[in-house]
Amino acid sequence: MRSPVRLAPLLLLAAVTLARSGSAAITVDGRLDPDYGAALATQSLETSFEDANPAFSPDPVRYADGTELDALYGAITDGVLHVLVSGNLGFCCPTAYAHQEEFDLFIDSRPGGQHTLRADNPAVGWFGGNTLNGLAGLSFDAVFAADYWLGCTVNMASAFAELLPDGGGAGYDLGYNVTGAPGTLTGGTDPAGILAALDDSNGAGVTAGCASASGAGVTTGVEWAIPLAAIGDPTGCVQVCVLAADAETHAIGNQTLGPSEPGNCAFGAPAGVNLANLPGNQYVIICPAPTPASGSTWGRIKTLYR
């Protein structure tokens, strides 16, 4: 695993020391920590959004002009679900708005939920609070029924909601984070203490298009720490699905994790997107540590939600 080259030697030493002491082993800063282990899913498809070039950004850690989901890392430790989606969250640009994307993380952490997103979920998010319900009609893999949604867009503006079988439920505009670690969200309502941070400086990973590509090796992106108490206190494994969409129109791009097959371009309006029709799993399973990177899906499913 490569260390982020941007870290000064002193900081790197501090990080190593913390990891050895067993405390604060995962820092919510948008950068990969050793305790995640291997990626649980890696992108295999070029992005239908733009390919980010940090040289064009006035502040590469905070802004990227492209969007891609290169890899997903996950861990459950000390009562917290940690997720890092490496890649870029696009917003072009601070001085000349042209496009804005969002990441949508769906969590399946208990029986029930929504296999197809309803249109009467909490009214939260950006562009008038229609972010979540703008995704109505999106269907997941057959074994996936989402119980919670966590979304983010530029400046890590974040929103969170439960997805109850009959709609309704609790939802919150969590606030913003433009300062990196420790991922504290301010300016909203974050009763569960969800943390989120972004390092948008990736210039590698997949490029633009719809063909085969690899997201391997990208170690920066969006990172979340979600207390298990916020997602129904699961004691076993959980399933997560992450995708990217246009933050205003809700059109879904071709970047999902797990990935879909090369050749897929942007999927478009959510109501027309059924991930069950795509080969492979557009979700991953995250288990309490130690998390296997791959292997027996059945062994892990047996402990789902337990």
The answer to the question of residue 145 lying near Ca ion (CB under 5 A) is yes
Report, in Å, the least distance between residue 183 CB and Ca ion: 9
Largest CA distance in the chain: 52
* Neighbouring C-beta atoms of residue 96, cutoff 10 Å: 6
The answer to the question of residue 147 lying near Ca ion (CB under 5 A) is yes
Scanning residues 85 to 114, which ones bind Ca ion (CB under 5 A)? Answer: 108, 113
Report, in Å, the least distance between residue 133 CB and Ca ion: 19
Q: List the x/- string, 242-281, binding to Ca ion by CB under 5 A.
A: ----------------------------------------
Q: List the x/- string, 218-237, binding to Ca ion by CB under 5 A.
A: -----x--------------
Stretch that binds Ca ion, among 38-46, 96-104, 142-150, 245-253 (CB under 5 A): 142-150
Scanning residues 22 to 81, which ones bind Ca ion (CB under 5 A)? Answer: 27, 29, 31, 33, 51
Q: Which is nearer to Ca ion, 51 or 246 (CB)?
A: 51
Interface positions with Ca ion (CB under 5 A): 27, 29, 31, 33, 51, 108, 113, 145, 147, 205, 223
